């Protein structure tokens, strides 16, 4: 039996996208491998929800089932912790005149049937060039540690959670496409632009408009894919988002922005996997895929299986060396090799990404380090 087929069936059921084919599972099913793969793809919580559709969970080894339960309980605890700290962050920032945009993470989780079962990580806030330094100053008052500042953001451990404060929301590596993206991001930051709000627990937070977020989530996934790799979680995030925000008006605006940024091809490829592997309705897609996209979709799925979340399990890449300069060179050469291999998914982005990465890394290296 194909373990990947079994995991995807459970994942679809966990997302609420169709009935589970129980004939795929019997007493000989290798649940240890399925559990390991679900963790590597950071979808263990959602796949656990799919287990509830089995006639009985007694076909799982008891020790493994209990370990899986504990994993999900930890996930729920961590998600509640992040939701609580988001509330504290917005209280802090608003007290000092800042209204950050909550990106990805806990905002995207609200599109899932069980938000607490989406694998969580950090809190991403966009304060923009104007609020970036002020936001850093506020966070540093209670931060216990801080990582090296990057071109896009700073990362701090704040109240025992990782908070990324972004001065740059996203980049496209192709210059003429990025100009359009940055122009639209600047509009979102304009105080006169109507804001999109979302409730995280009992806290109302400001988030990206749904139609723009369709492009943003794709850009975020594409950037990681060109650099290191992505897991099924990135695909699930995008699929759950477009499935929830699929009114005619939302789809029309999302399609317009995807075309404006030259993202038609990756949108079609993601769409093919979202429909065929995750089971969202074809009608949800802002840009429909065609038969010509099938080969690239299979290629992307194979890359996802090979590397796992952020490419951490890809045996084709070596270990990052110690040292600041050596680490930067390793990242650049790894990205260059990846772009040469995966260029078919987004040709212009793959062609420009290594140069964009080198430029931004150079800016960081030349910037005086904070002491």
The Cα 183–Cα 244 span in angstroms is 26
In the chain, DSSP assigns E strands to 101-103, 123-126, 143-146, 153-158, 161-166, 196-200, 203-207
Residue 59's pLDDT band (cuts 50, 70, 90):
confident
User: What percent of the chain stands above pLDDT 90?
Assistant: 75
- pLDDT-derived band at 366 (thresholds 50, 70, 90) equals low
Protein fold of 81-366 = Beta Polymerase; domain 2 (3.30.460)
In the Cβ-directed half-sphere of 83, how many Cα atoms lie within 13 Å? 20
**Per-residue confidence (pLDDT) for residue 364, from 0 to 100:** 60
- For the stretch 125-138, pLDDT in tens is 999 999 999 999 99
Q: Cβ atoms within 10 A of the Cβ of 283, count?
A: 10
Side-chain-side CA neighbours of residue 253 (13 Å): 11
203-207 and 101-103 beta bridge pairing: parallel
Q: Reply yes or no on whether the pLDDT at 361 is more than 70.
A: no
pLDDT at 371: 43
Average pLDDT over every residue of 186-210: 91
pLDDT higher than 60, residue 370: no
What does the pLDDT average to over 334-357? 85
pLDDT tens sequence across 307-327: 888 778 777 776 777 766 676
Q: Which of 262, 261, 252, 260 is nearest to 287 (CA)?
A: 252
Indicate where the chain has its CATH 3.30.460.40 domain(s). 81-366
Are 354 and 342 a contacting pair, CB within 8 Å? no
pLDDT higher than 90, residue 333:
no
- Lowest mean pLDDT segment, chosen from 76-80, 204-208, 337-341: 337-341
pTM, two decimals, is 0.93
């Amino acid at each position: 039996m194909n373990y990947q087929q079994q995991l995807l069936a459970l994942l679809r059921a966990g997302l609420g996208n169709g009935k589970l084919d129980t004939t795929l599972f019997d007493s000989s099913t290798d649940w240890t491998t399925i559990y390991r793969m679900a963790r590597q793809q950071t979808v263990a919580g959602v796949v656990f929800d799919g287990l509830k559709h089995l006639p009985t969970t007694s076909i799982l080894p008891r020790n493994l089932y209990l370990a899986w339960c504990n994993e999900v309980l930890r996930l729920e605890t961590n998600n509640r912790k992040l939701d609580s700290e988001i509330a504290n962050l917005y209280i802090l920032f608003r007290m000092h005149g800042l209204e950050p945009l909550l990106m990805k993470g806990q905002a995207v989780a609200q599109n899932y049937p069980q938000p607490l079962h989406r694998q969580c990580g950090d809190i991403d806030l966009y304060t923009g060039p104007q609020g970036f330094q002020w936001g850093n100053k506020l966070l540093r008052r209670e931060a216990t540690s801080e990582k090296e500042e990057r071109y896009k953001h700073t990362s701090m451990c704040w109240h025992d959670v990782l908070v990324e404060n972004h001065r740059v929301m996203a980049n496209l590596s192709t210059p003429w496409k990025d100009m359009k993206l940055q122009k639209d991001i600047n509009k979102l930051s304009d105080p006169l632009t109507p804001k999109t709000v979302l409730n995280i627990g009992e806290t109302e937070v400001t988030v990206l408009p749904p139609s723009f977020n369709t492009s943003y989530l794709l850009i975020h996934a594409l950037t990681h894919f060109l650099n290191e790799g992505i897991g099924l979680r990135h695909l699930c995030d995008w699929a759950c988002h477009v499935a929830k925000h699929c009114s005619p008006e939302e789809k029309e605006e999302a399609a317009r922005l995807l075309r404006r940024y030259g993202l038609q091809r990756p949108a079609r490829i993601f769409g093919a996997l979202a429909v065929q592997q995750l089971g969202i309705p074809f009608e949800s897609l802002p840009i429909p895929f065609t038969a010509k996209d099938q080969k690239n979709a299979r290629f992307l799925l194979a890359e996802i299986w090979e590397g796992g979340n952020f490419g951490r399990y890809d045996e084709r890449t070596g270990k990052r060396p110690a040292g600041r300069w050596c680490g930067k060179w390793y990242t650049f050469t790894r990205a260059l090799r990846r772009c040469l291999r995966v260029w078919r998914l987004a040709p212009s982005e793959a062609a420009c990404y290594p140069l964009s990465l080198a430029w931004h890394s150079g800016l960081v290296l030349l910037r005086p380090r904070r002491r």
